[in-house]
Amino acid sequence: MNTGDPVTTIDLIRHGECDGGDIFRGSTDVALSPAGWNTMQAAADRLTRGGGWDGIVCSPLQRCRLFAEHLAARHALPLEVAADLREMDYGEWEGQEVTKVWREDTERVRRLFTDPAGFISPGGETMPEFQARVAAALRDILARHRERRLLFVTHGGTIRLLLSTVLDMPLGRCSSWHVPYGCVTRLRIYHDGAADRGHLVFHNGPPPE
């Protein structure tokens, strides 16, 4: 889509597999596994085939930040660490095995997928709180980097909320997005006077030729 309006392009990469197994890692700062690093490198290589970025923005958590630092150095790009692009805080579930939490708190975990707008983990963020900080971070970044092409290196939950925010989807639908490790996405945000219009170019697939 080419409307002639000014446009900001945002590419997204979700981090790869992490050390520690299948846990609620959320805001817990854990390292990528070697396989996770390789997954992210392959994702970045796919995205750069169509041209480079003007800058990289990443979550402060090391599973995103360390790869973003590597990529920024490799391509001689400015890097910004955006604290509010970190993953959701799962409170008391942080660091616990997913199977254990499912077994002990089944109905609350199920609500994360069936009613995300009303979900809250014990002692953690609510989904509206999570969305509010991600949306605020996006507004701030767009205000400072208008009409540029950026790469965000971040988390599955954050990407779901960025997609829902840019495409003006109800919060309750955010769990509909499948965001596997190394998932790549491209958004274009057209600036039409005081309004912005989001356009999804691709998600969880190869960039178009």
Mean pLDDT by 10 residues, the chain (209 residues): 82 96 94 97 87 94 98 96 97 95 93 88 93 97 96 98 96 93 96 88 78
Model pLDDT, residue 13: 97
Cβ contacts of residue 89 below 8 Å, gap of 6+?
A: 26, 27, 124, 125, 130
- Which domains occur in the chain, in start order? 7-203 (3.40.50.1240)
Would you state the pLDDT for residue 121? 87
Confidence (pLDDT) at 209: 54
Alpha carbons 16 and 89: distance in angstroms, whole number: 19
Q: What is the pLDDT of residue 120?
A: 86
CA 102 to CA 149: how far, in whole Å?
40
pTM here is 0.94
